[in-house]
Structure 1
Amino acid sequence: MTEPLRVALAGLGTVGAGVIRLIDTNGALIARRAGRPIEVIAVSARDRSKDRGIDMNRFAWVDDPTELARQAGADVVVELIGGSDGPALALARATLGAGKSFVTANKAMIAHHGLELARAAEGANLALKFEAAVAGGVPVIKGLREGAAANEISRVYGILNGTCNFILSKMEAEGRDFADILSEAQRLGFAEADPSFDIDGVDAAHKLSILASLAFGTRPAFDDVTITGIRHVIAADIAEAASLGYRVRLLGIADAGAGGLFQRVHPHLVPESHPLAHVTGSTNAVVAEGNFVGRLLFQGAGAGDGPTASAVVADLIDIARGEFGPPYAMPADALAAQPASDSGERRGRAYVRFTVADRVGVLAEIAAAMRDAGVSIESLMQRGANPDGSVLVAIVTHEGPERAVAHALEKLRGSSSLTGEPMWMHILG
């Protein structure tokens, strides 16, 4: 009988327990597809006594996760601890240094240290796999790395955070405000007790930097991602977008060209005719545009024990088959070091919402700032007074350079007419 692939697993939270359950449930099918059995032989987690609904006595238990790198008999280590540095990174380095392949769902670590780890894996002829790091069970990394490998990708973009998409689509469906929906998302388990990484766009930015590297053959450049989250989107923005034929979604967008690598996470108005406008709940969706394959849409559950465990075990099946290959679809040393592009020259349309004092001359002041900055206004809407006496003014611009809108907002900074920070959302085009 063919020797099994023996796995050491660090992290027994929702996903780690899900990996064990998946292997237990589908073990025979997995063995047929992998060409040999896959079995977990050792585990590590913070709490030995926690009831995970799984018989843990069959596994060797290690308190220090880095010791799994030296676990006798283990062929591959799976890391499900999380965090860009600390124990997760120490385990990754130790595993590759010990001659074992490495699988992770850790987007933060790959976004920050993926190039280093890829070089180490390639130098030792080992596998480094991270399908579960982006979009959970959606095989977007494999799709870009393998399925679209013959294409020049012009743009990759999508809905990369399920928590934000749940909140925005719930606000859209029910007309409720952000804070109310966030509290509900936390009660339902869609949002963490501290949701900052999600709602401020950092989680999506980690994923976007990984996708950009795969799509364009560039070195991961998380520090060059421009990030704006959804914390300041209000119900009135959702309603205004709907009246104009759009839906609000937090999108990560990346493209590469002569001007450098562009990466941005930002709330967008998405036309109702676009597939991303109809992605609701905690679903993730990624669009890649190739010069021969055309538009590809990857969509599915972006988190949860089942989908994420599915992606982890899919990586293990590849390793069991001996399918290694460079982690970023080309050797790490072939990845191009591209500068960040200047977004100011990008052209597009924008939605800008102001909260202003209800008094004569405010609209004229805003219009003058836009005029002086070279921004052409397509439409301007003013809505009724809020309880505090302020009113909402929303502007949709004609297509023009982003620098002009930024200049107009800078002109209005500190104006006594504005009672809150403007909200700028790009219109997907």
Structure 2
Amino acid sequence: MEPVALATVLLILMFVLLGAGLWVAVALVALGVLALELSGAAPPGTVLGATVWGGSTSWTLIALPLFIWMGEILFRTRLSEQMFQGLSPWLTRLPGRLLHVNILGCGIFAAVSGSSVATTVTVGKIALPELERRRYDESLAIGTLAGSGTLGILIPPSIIMIVYGVAADVSIVRLFAAGVVPGLMVVGLFMLYVAARALADPSKAPFTDAPLPLRERLRQARHLIPVLLLMAAVLGSIYGGLATATEAAALGVVGALAIAAMSGSLTWRSFYESVIGATCASCMICFLLAASAFLSVAIDYAGLSAWVAGSVLSLGLSRTELIAVLTLIFIVMGCFLDGISIVVLATSLLLAAVKQAGIDPLWFGVYLVVVVEMSLITPPVGLNLFVLQGMTGRNLAVVSRAAFPFFLLMVLSVVLLVAFPGLATYLPAAVFAR
């Protein structure tokens, strides 16, 4: 079958299968089998067995369940309450005041969990009631949490970065380093926006607490020590060359268990629930990665990778124009698919074309994660929107409107990444220069 006809058939089948609600991993396997059958390039069973085994036995992949488990353990601790106590005394003088706790709290928890949903729930369960009690603007409170909760997949260690690194064969350690500056940039944009809104209308962040003396603020800051030490241990060991991502993940699990024990949250029940939660999430992601590896090999055997790359190049698009088109495609995909599925599909179907266009796979990984952040607050299936809908009792339309300004700020982040690619590439080049 000609590549054009084969690509058309596969594209139609993909929409049919995903629209029917079939598991994404099963849909990817079905597409790979059909591609091999119609092209006659190789026996599907042989290719499936080899790629699934090869894609699921990577040493690097062990970091995935460990980081997920670390996040699951911390999710069940009193960490959110401790972060609120430690951060709030330092932010009362800033325009926006305690709204910045949502942003910085999510940034800190993101650096030790790697999960967006866990970040949103953990910070939101203490911050939202406090902000409501102090009569902060509800829309801004929900919006800051919706937007900042997505930092869980950008600020390392990031579960989606591990997924992309394994699927695209890119160094996970370098990806972690590449995500630091963009993550801080997004935090900065969110804080600037909140400050501007508060300056324009002070009633959105009312002054309710007198500033604490320095000694009291320092005393409250002790609540941040456990999580800051965990951040230093996990990320410091990676960037200092003392541990691989997998070894750092194991260290993170030990540290998370220690924090849970110190906070009195470590019980047999919470331990069991954290193991089950991490196991279920890891199995789902590994299933997706194995299916993605099979589809990538299948379309390569069928000649579709070269055809897609050639077709993209024949359009004569500049790098900026190509990124703009891909961004629109990913935003639309985010209305129907979760972030991990978008990453898996992108690496399976588009990575060859991206490389042919001269785009650095490391930079593309960070860009893809930022775009996937948008999908987390894009209706109708944005996971963070559903989480906040459940936490606040507001309908999806209200939550979506509150999150929309932060969606636009993420679009601005993509523009800045395209205009200044060094935001993502400088740090890994500097840290790992030989």
TM-score, normalising length: structure 1: 0.26
Bigger radius of gyration: 1
- Indicate the structure whose relative CO is greater, using CA pairs within 8 Å and at least 6 residues apart: 2
